[in-house]
A = this chain, B = another copy of it.
Amino acid sequence: MTVQGDRRKFRREGADQRKEALVRATLGLIAEEGVRGATVRAIAERAEVTQGLIRHYFSTKEDLVLAAYTQHMDALTEQTFAKAEGATPRARLAALVVASVTPPVADAGSVALWAGFLTQVRQDARMQEVHARSYHGFRDRLEALIAEVLAQDGRAADSRDCRPLAIACNAVIDGLWLEGGALPDAFQEGELAAIAVQSVGAILGMNLTGTEAQE
**Which positions in A face B, CB cutoff 8 Å?**
33-36, 108, 111-112, 115-116, 118-123, 131-132, 135-136, 164, 167-168, 170-176, 178-179, 182-183, 186-187, 191-192, 194-196, 198-199, 202-203, 205
Chain B residue numbers with a CB within 8 Å of A33 are 123
Residues on B with C-beta less than 8 A from A167 are: 176, 179, 187, 191-192, 195
Question: How many of these chains are in the complex?
Answer: 2
Are the C-beta atoms of B116 and A119 separated by less than 8 Å?
yes
Q: Do A112 and B108 contact each other (CB < 8 Å), given the known contacts A168-B172, A182-B131, A194-B164?
A: no
* Contact assessment for A119 and B35 in the assembled complex, using a CB-CB cutoff below 8 Å: yes
Given contacts A167-B195, A202-B203, A203-B199, contact A36 B135 (CB under 8 A): no
- Candidates B112, B120, B173, B202; contact of A34 at CB < 8 Å: B120
Contact present for A119 and B112 (CB under 8 Å): yes
Least CB distance from A201 to B in Å reads 9
A135 to B187, CA, bound (A): 13
Closest to A123 in B: B34
**Residues in chain B near residue A118, CB distance under 8 A:** 111-112, 115-116, 182
Choose among B36, B115, B173 the residue that contacts A175 (Cβ–Cβ < 8 A).
Answer: B173
Q: Are A171 and B171 in contact (CB under 8 A)?
A: yes
Nearest CB on B from A39, distance (A): 12
Q: Which residue of B lies closest to A166 (CB)?
A: B195
